[in-house]
Amino acid sequence: MNPEDQKLSSLLRQSKPAPSLPPRFAEHVWRRIEHTPERSATWLDTLAAMILRPRIAWATATVLLISGLLLGVYQGNQTARQADLGRYLASVAPSAVR
Amino acid sequence: MNRPLLTILSALVLAAAIFGASYWTGQRGCLMCHAQSTDNLTWLRDEFHLSDAEMARIRELHEGYMPKCMEYCAAIAEKKAELQSALAGTTNVTPQAQAKLAELAQLRAQCQANMLQHFMTVSQAMPPAEGRRYLAEMQRLTLGFHEELEQSMASMTNMPSARQ
């Protein structure tokens, strides 16, 4: 590049004026941020926020775990009872006479 | 999909997984415990809350009944084979087949009577209320099956059942 061109570029950069900020610019920006209307939370937002709270999440998980176990044990008992009944019935009342 | 909806759906899936896993664990654990018992009289003890003395008496009755039951089973199986031989290759119910049918029915009736007598004897070895409940339940499970079958067939053909 021509050294004269380099000098010219440098001069042009120096002469380009940087725009000055208006007075109390920062204060105006913060005021606009404060007055910006918030998006109203929908019921989904509320529900999701509630779910993500640790206490509620742990409590729900504990309740599900215990209720699942209890229901499983109850169902297992019922199934085992039916199996025991079937075994007794097969021993005393063969299908030929039922 | 928006973020709250994704959160809720993920939570539902996780909740279902927790519940399902605990349900399956509880059920399998219970079944594994029960599978270790091979006693045919377990149901009696658990259902009718029998004491050790009552169970011992009923076990004695049960073991006395089993040989007779097996004799009847063998006799009925033999008679059924004879009936099948009598029916083989014929297009009519021959007098011989009719006789075999009658003998088979008689054997089954005797077997049923023997079975019902055993139920009554066992019920008398239980406390009165439990004994009545046992007898009613065993009669329902053994004799009641045929009544239900007849009623269902009668309703299909719109004919009065034998019970009515």
| Sign, Cα dihedral of B103, B106, B108, B114 | negative
Distance from CA of B70 to the nearest CA of A (A): 9
Give the per-residue pLDDT at B153.
72
Query: Of A57, A70, A81, which is closest to B26 when you measure between CB atoms?
Result: A70
Higher pLDDT, residue A41 or B17: B17
Specify the pLDDT at position A2. Answer: 75
Alpha helices (H) along B3-92 = 3-35, 42-48, 52-87
Residue B91 has phi, psi (to 5 degrees) of -110, 0
Whether the predicted pLDDT of B120 surpasses 50: yes
A60 to chain B, any CB pair closer than 8 A? The answer is yes
CB-nearest partner of B115 from A45, A48, A93: A93
Band of pLDDT at residue B147, cut at 50, 70 and 90: low
Looking at this predicted complex, what is its ipTM?
A: 0.77
Is A96 in CB contact (< 8 Å) with chain B?
yes
CB pairs under 8 A between A and B: 132
Q: Which amino acid, residue A90?
A: A
The whole-model pTM stands at 0.68
**Chain B residue nearest residue A48, CA to CA:** B4
> Tokens standing for A41?
């939370």
Using the beta-carbon criterion (under 8 Å), do B43 and A85 form an inter-chain contact? yes
Q: Do B8 and A65 touch (CB under 8 A)?
A: no
By CB atoms closer than 10 A (0-12, 13-18, 19+), residue A43 is: exposed
Please tell me the predicted confidence (pLDDT) of residue A8.
86
Is there a contact between B7 and A93 if contact means CB atoms under 8 Å apart?
A: no
